[in-house]
């Protein structure tokens, strides 16, 4: 059964405003389940961790339930492999600091020009602090995809870690993470994956990828402002954590410094419950795809993400068609219609004679929300020669957007 946009949109209170939310790569809107979970937590179970009294016991149980739900979402082997934190960037800095204690001068880390700075700056800091060497993987500028030959060449016996994004937050490119993991592991290196941009758009299976670490943010997959870090349990156990002394010695607790955002973690459970509803309602066509590989909620979530992915690809075709019809407009990234499975529906462009900021302001005046700038993807903007000109205009679709909204955007650009 194809997605029903009207039914889906009825679940999101913010979407009733009449405004067009194409700012999704910076943060998605939330369904009612998220709001209800957060409000219920604050009303009924608002307490700190580890108490003997009712609210604390129930709060801890809810956090455990949320952790198990995220483990299902990512297909982690255990909920104990899921660490909560403020956001992907903060968690990555914390993890990089811990990994840094296992490295020494002369070791190498591989990064790419395509990544968000949240997956570059932490490793760049280690290079500066420890005398490491960063190796940079280049892109093919014509479609802004990673140069996989260059990637293979940059991984050597000196490589200790490869840091790569699952999908580009700037131009939407989906990277071949599975192949990258295989190349890194063959050289004895670990792999850290930034999945923030991919998580709202397709199923993630950390066990199938065999990545060592993966981070994402709930506020990018229809939840509140909470970050998530996955790590193989044995690796998390072995890493030296920066923590207060009475904190747990084992993961995930040893990496969850201070009091967590409990109501946000409850809201994250609400987001996954919403995706479960999506899979139950629209995912029947994907049963056979995952037979024998998943059961229960894990199967339902994979069906949900597959169903919304199919819908978004169709929406993305119309967006690219419409943008390409506008004189002077250049799309940066994959546009070939047969290759749209290699990108998420995050589409960035420049418009001749107009700054990205001016275009975003024009669209905002029409009630259409898009981003302009570099979105912390500083290196790719420099690599493409776009940073000095103000970056790009970024339109980010989600499964709750509609063809009508895409047409409204195209019309507004034609009149600009």
CB-count exposure of residue 31 (10 Å: 0-12, 13-18, 19+): buried
Question: Which domain CATH number covers 320?
Answer: 3.90.1150.10
- Asked if 341 and 313 touch (Cβ cutoff 8 Å), the reply is yes
User: What band does 291 get if pLDDT is binned at 50, 70 and 90?
Assistant: low
Taking residues 110-124, report their average pLDDT.
98
Give the whole-number percent of the chain exceeding pLDDT 90.
Answer: 95
Same domain, 222 and 77: yes
Could you read off the pLDDT of 51-60 as tens digits, one per residue? 999 999 999 9
Neighbours of 283 (CB within 10 A): 25
Give a yes or no: residue 326 inside a domain: yes
Q: Are 211 and 193 in contact (CB under 8 A)?
A: yes
Structural domain harbouring 304: 5-30+296-414
Enumerate residues 6+ apart whose C-beta is below 8 A from 91.
Answer: 83, 85, 215, 227, 228, 229, 255
Q: Are residues 78 and 218 in the same domain?
A: yes
Please give the pLDDT value at position 416.
67
Q: Please tell me whether residues 344 and 408 are part of one structural domain.
A: yes
196: left (phi over 0), alpha (psi -120 to 50) or beta: alpha
End position of a domain, from candidates 237, 272, 307 = 272
Tokens of 150: 């260059």
**Percent of residues, the chain, with pLDDT higher than 70:** 98
3-state SS track over 76-92: CCCHHHEEEECCHHHHH
Tell me: the pLDDT tens digits for 193-245? Answer: 999 999 999 999 999 999 999 999 999 999 999 999 999 999 999 999 999 99
pLDDT of residue 288: 65
Indicate the number of domains in the chain: 2
- What is the reported pTM? 0.97
């Amino acid at each position: 059964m194809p997605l029903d946009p009207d039914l889906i949109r009825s679940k999101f209170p913010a979407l009733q405003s009449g405004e067009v939310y194409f700012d999704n790569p910076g943060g998605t809107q939330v369904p009612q389940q998220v709001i209800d979970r957060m409000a219920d937590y604050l009303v009924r179970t608002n307490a700190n961790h580890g108490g003997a009294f009712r609210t604390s016991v129930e709060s801890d149980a809810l956090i455990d339930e949320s952790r198990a739900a995220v483990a299902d979402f990512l297909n982690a082997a255990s909920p104990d492999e899921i660490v909560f934190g403020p956001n992907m960037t903060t968690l990555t800095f914390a993890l990089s600091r811990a990994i840094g204690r296992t490295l020494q001068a002369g070791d190498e880390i591989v990064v790419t020009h395509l990544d968000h700075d949240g997956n570059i700056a932490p490793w760049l800091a280690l290079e500066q602090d420890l005398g490491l060497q960063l190796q940079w993987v280049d892109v093919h500028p014509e479609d802004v995809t990673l140069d996989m030959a260059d990637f293979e060449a940059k991984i050597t016996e000196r490589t200790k870690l490869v840091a790569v994004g699952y999908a580009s937050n700037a131009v939407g490119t989906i990277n071949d993470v599975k192949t990258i993991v295989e190349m890194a592991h063959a050289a004895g290196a670990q792999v850290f994956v930034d999945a923030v941009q991919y998580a709202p758009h397709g199923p993630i299976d950390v066990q199938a990828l065999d990545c060592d670490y993966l981070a994402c943010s709930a506020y990018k997959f229809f939840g509140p402002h909470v970050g998530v870090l996955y790590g193989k349990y044995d690796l998390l156990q072995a890493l030296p954590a920066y923590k207060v002394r009475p904190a747990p010695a084992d993961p995930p607790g040893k990496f969850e410094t201070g009091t967590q955002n409990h109501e946000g973690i409850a809201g994250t459970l609400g987001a996954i419950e919403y995706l479960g509803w999506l899979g139950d309602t629209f995912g029947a066509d994907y049963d056979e795809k995952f037979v024998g590989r998943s059961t229960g909620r894990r199967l339902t979530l994979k069906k949900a993400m597959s169903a919304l992915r199919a819908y978004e690809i169709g929406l993305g075709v119309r967006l690219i068609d419409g943008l390409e019809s506008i004189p002077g407009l250049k799309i940066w990234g994959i546009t070939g219609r047969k290759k749209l499975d290699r990108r998420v529906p995050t589409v960035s462009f420049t418009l001749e004679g107009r700054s990205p900021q001016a275009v975003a302001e024009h669209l905002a005046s029409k009630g259409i929300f898009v981003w302009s700038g570099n979105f912390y993807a500083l290196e790719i903007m420099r690599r493409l020669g776009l940073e000095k000109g103000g970056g790009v205009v970024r339109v980010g679709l989600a499964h709750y957007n509609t063809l009508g909204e895409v047409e409204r955007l195209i019309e507004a650009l034609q009149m600009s």
